[in-house]
Amino acid sequence: MGDRRVAGCPCTSPSRSGSSGSPTSTGSSRSTCCAARGRFFLQTIPSGPMEPRFTRGKSPLLERVLARPRGDVALGAFALLFSELVQYCQSRVYSVAELQAKLAHLGYQVGLRVLDALVAREKNGRRETKVLNILLFVKGPLWRSLFGKEADKLEQANDDDKTFYVIERDPLVNTFISVPRENSTLNCAAFTAGLLEAVLTASGFPAKVTAHWHKGTTLMIKFDEAVIARDKSLEGR
């Protein structure tokens, strides 16, 4: 290993050097001398390859591109996690209505966290401004991101321009849930209803979403009056 020079070290000062200006025998042990004196000096780094700890690759997590879709979650893992979630809520309520409300509240929290990442991946950060477009976004990209497929149907009520239906014949959240006879009205898709309500509300389309047993499971979306009025004002733009 080559000789290292320590800038400002007294071992390399002219008073300790020979007539030719090179370090004396005292200067040849300057590293030990300086360390023994308890003094520290700026040291030049010798040329050559850097140590592996400085060239180690970056963390894959930090290098992950936001636009890259995330991998699928194992169905068994999802079933176990969701069943535990339902049991957790069930132990803290006294009626089916309270259980569905609690599931909807938890789903709402998930929806708020899903939206930003999904919009960045699917829409490059661009938000929808019309009711039909946000509903198609829900039926397509949102459902594919959550459940691996599009929603089965999207319909509008015949007598109410504020009401729409997202229909799932066999929703994933109900597939592995065994409902006792005394709680036959329980629909765990209330969790999905809360999630969908959060996505719509955070997107600028305030709505109330509820889950019902109809054609399998139907999520009924009822938009606020202001949303429909704004949508009509945007027609033709």
Q: List the pLDDT tens digit at each of the 237 positions of the chain.
A: 444 444 555 555 554 444 444 444 444 444 445 544 555 444 555 555 655 555 555 566 566 665 555 567 788 888 889 999 999 999 999 999 999 999 999 999 999 999 988 888 888 888 899 999 999 999 999 999 899 899 999 999 999 999 999 999 999 999 888 888 888 889 999 999 999 999 999 999 999 999 998 889 999 999 999 999 999 898 866
pLDDT computed for residue 25 by the predictor: 45
**CA atoms 187, 168, 139, 129: torsion sign:** negative
pLDDT computed for residue 131 by the predictor: 94
pLDDT computed for residue 121 by the predictor: 85
- The tokens for 162 are 């504020």
198: Cβ contacts below 8 Å, ≥ 6 apart: 107, 108, 109, 110, 111, 112, 115
97: Cβ contacts below 8 Å, ≥ 6 apart: none
pLDDT computed for residue 24 by the predictor: 46
